Structure 1
Amino acid sequence: MKHLGGHTPDLSAVHIPEEQVLFASDNLFGSRNPSSPVEPEMNPRSDLDQWILALKYLLTLDAKVIVPGHLGLCNNEAIRKLVDYLQLFLANVRDLKRQGYSKEQVKQKRELVCLPTLEESGIDPTIMEGLTEHNIDVQYVQYDKL
């Protein structure tokens, strides 16, 4: 068991090398778009930079069976896709914020942050829309704290 943080500060992963099984906790959402949890006062609990580091560590374990915190079993490709998504999302939101885009402008033009299309996500469009707006909110709060 290893403490990793990321999606929330308290997350750990459990790796069973002899079985090539990894319990990734909520740092991995299977095929679903991730969300950044917040506390009631819009205090983000996710640290996307740490989350990316945690996922990259999980890739080094080279598990054959991965049990994510949500949805069904997955493999290392799901981790790679999530790393790519988080890196792109984080870089683009920070860049747009530096350029002076308001949170509301980014929400209205989601293509500005290069999010996966609803067809690619494979989940209910209403869920995806809510997660996207929520993640943008969280990143604007975190950016202001940098």
Structure 2
Amino acid sequence: MARQSRQTFGSSQVTFFDVEALRGGIVAWGDRVADQVFDEAEEIVKDAAVEAVARVHAADTKTGRERAAKGKGLPGRHETGLMAEQIREYEITRSKREFVGRWGWLRVKRDYFDCQEHGTRHLAGMGALWGSYVHAQDRLWAALSRGRRR
């Protein structure tokens, strides 16, 4: 459908496409989708931090099994609970155009925790942050897809 038309003696002009109006409409649509997705993204980040804690508790190691067999704790990687409790932290930074969610060991010296997460030559990595990240990313893509269809 023509947005604008004009006819004069000996010529006709029709504007089918107004780039600025289109650009404004796309930006407005993007802002609406961002608001909806950002709200959901906050929940995704909070849930990812909780999931990472659960993954620490579920991580299985020989040392953990031996500790549990001696009656000195649970079999996962949570001898003192410090590593799991400190992974629970999250931060959210949000502006009109950007959302950044972080979770994990944000305020502690992480060398030991990084070895536990990624593993070493002698220790299998637990992948608590990685697993929660992959799950959060899948949920975020689903939220974006729902927003795109609105």
Same fold flag (TM > 0.5)? no
TM-score by length of 1: 0.28
Larger Rg over CA atoms: 2
| Structure showing the higher helix proportion among its residues | 2
TM-score by length of 2: 0.27
